[in-house]
Chains A and B, each alone.
With several copies, the nearest count.
Chain A
Amino acid sequence: MPWDRNQMAERAAQELEDGMYVNLGIGIPTLVANYTGDKDITLQSENGMLGMGPFPVEGDEDADVINAGKQTITELNRTAYFDSATSFGMIRGGKIAAAILGAMEVSENGDLANWMIPGKLVKGMGGAMDLVAGVGRVIVITDHNSKSGAAKLLKECTLPLTGKAVVDRIITNLGVFDVVEGGLRIVELAPDVTEAELREKTEATLVA
């Protein structure tokens, strides 16, 4: 049985260690914060905040306290604010231990595409290119296949890249994969997912 969104987030939370500074992307990555348990994880928001708290209770929203997805959030008792140049200095300088991001496509050598579909979707890369270039470890969470069933783990990406050879680990609804010499190594399969099924749904080279 493939993992659902929350199970993927829960699995991703296992990647984080106590004391880590982490940046979570928009979408499923945001859910990872719900599963860190006892681990003390400090979340960085690239719009200028270290130590991101949960959503506010109704009535406590503050227009001046938002995350990188422009959602209202709250601060903690150890939150620090800073400007965007400093924020990305932190990111580019390798001070953030890990980023967990979504993907449109990932290639078997760790290329990531998640910012643009030429002629259709022109939103921009935001901070994703900086994150994949700068943070210590890049973890991708994505459905294994697109809604139409197409493979998202490819030999080569077809969409414009966010970064070249930047992904360390991929968590999909079917399993966990590491980018290694020669392709993607299967680290773990979701319950009842078989290697045969996986191979069928994956274009990238899978290595043991």
Chain B
Amino acid sequence: MASKIYDSASAALDGLLTDGMTLAAGGFGLCGIPENLIAAIRDAGTKDLTVYSNNAGVDDFGLGVLLQTRQVKKMCSSYVGENDEFMRQYLAGELEIEFNPQGTLAERMRAGGCGIPGFYTKTGVGTQVAEGKEHKDFDGETYILERGIVADLAIVKAWKADETGNCIFRKTARNFNPPAAMCGKICVMEVEEIVPNGTLDGDHIHLPGIYVHRLIQGQHEKRIEQRTTRKKEA
């Protein structure tokens, strides 16, 4: 099989970036984000991005980097606190935001990746989120129709992958990465370590290689957003 493995984030993104494209990104806060791919997109200067991502990073890290360079036209997220530049651009009308409830966003990504163009949910009924959406009753309860997301490109981060792209995530760094990977027409994955085929147990794989089109081993800062600790018990 032609190798999925590329030497660098820039090489892995070569030919995949176009102004105005839609992007799905994995990660929750700064946990499990595709740091290397974000940096490569910044360097490529791709403009007018619409980004599906639960969060928008912080000012100088994560997707915040692409906000600073004004490469993002619209964010579709559930939570964008922790980012002053975001707030500034939004309140100045320079950036669009579509708020999605977190679970709705995750399910929209999975649905898009699974060939499901729409599903009904109770989440958001009676709120701003429901405005303009189809309402339908099932068994006496009201639900709204939410659409599956198919993004031009998914950028995601895993812990380890074998050469065919089968990958495993580590603890809560899994988060949005699998649904984001699924919803990309093309998915580029960065991992901490590429291991030979045969290293990973087939029962441990969180995301089968079929979802991964290109793969790089990256360097990861893995910044902690809220360092909280307790006293060691004596």
Touching chains A and B, CB distance < 8 Å: yes
Contacting residues, chain B, for A82 (C-beta < 8 A): 174, 205, 208
- In the complex, what distance in Å separates the CA atom of A134 from the CA atom of B79? 19
B contacts with A: majority SS: loop
If A92-B103, A125-B102 touch, whether A19 touches B166 (CB-CB below 8 Å) is no
Partner of B171, one of A69, A81, A84, A130: A81
Q: List CB contacts (< 8 Å) of B77-125 with chain A.
A: 77-82, 87, 90-91, 97, 99, 101-104, 106-107, 109-110, 112-116, 121-125
B170 nearest CB across to chain A (Å): 5
Partner of A75, one of B121, B171, B222, B225: B171
Contacting residues, chain A, for B90 (C-beta < 8 A): 122
Contacting residues, chain A, for B107 (C-beta < 8 A): 85, 88-89, 92
Q: Is A142 an interface residue (CB 8 A)?
A: no
Contacting residues, chain A, for B128 (C-beta < 8 A): 160-161
Contacting residues, chain A, for B80 (C-beta < 8 A): 122-124
Contacting residues, chain B, for A62 (C-beta < 8 A): 171
Closest to A91 in B: B103
Of the A-B pairs whose beta carbons lie under 8 Å apart in the complex, a sample of 26, sorted by A's number, is A42-B1, A47-B31, A47-B172, A50-B208, A50-B210, A51-B164, A57-B232, A58-B229, A66-B224, A66-B225, A73-B228, A81-B202, A83-B169, A83-B179, A84-B102, A88-B104, A90-B210, A92-B116, A96-B210, A122-B80, A122-B97, A125-B129, A127-B101, A129-B129, A130-B123, A163-B125
List residues of B whose CB falls within 8 A of some A CB.
1-2, 28-32, 54, 77-82, 87, 90-91, 97, 99, 101-104, 106-107, 109-110, 112-116, 121-129, 159, 162-164, 166, 169-179, 182, 197-198, 202-203, 205-206, 208-211, 222-232
* Given A63-B224, A93-B115, A130-B101, 20 additional A-B pairs, CB 8 A: A46-B103, A48-B174, A57-B229, A64-B159, A64-B170, A66-B172, A81-B169, A83-B176, A93-B112, A96-B210, A122-B90, A122-B91, A124-B99, A126-B78, A127-B103, A129-B102, A133-B121, A160-B128, A163-B125, A164-B127
List residues of A whose CB falls within 8 A of some B CB.
18-19, 21, 40, 42, 44-51, 54-58, 60-67, 69-73, 75, 77-85, 87-96, 111, 119, 122-130, 133-134, 160-165
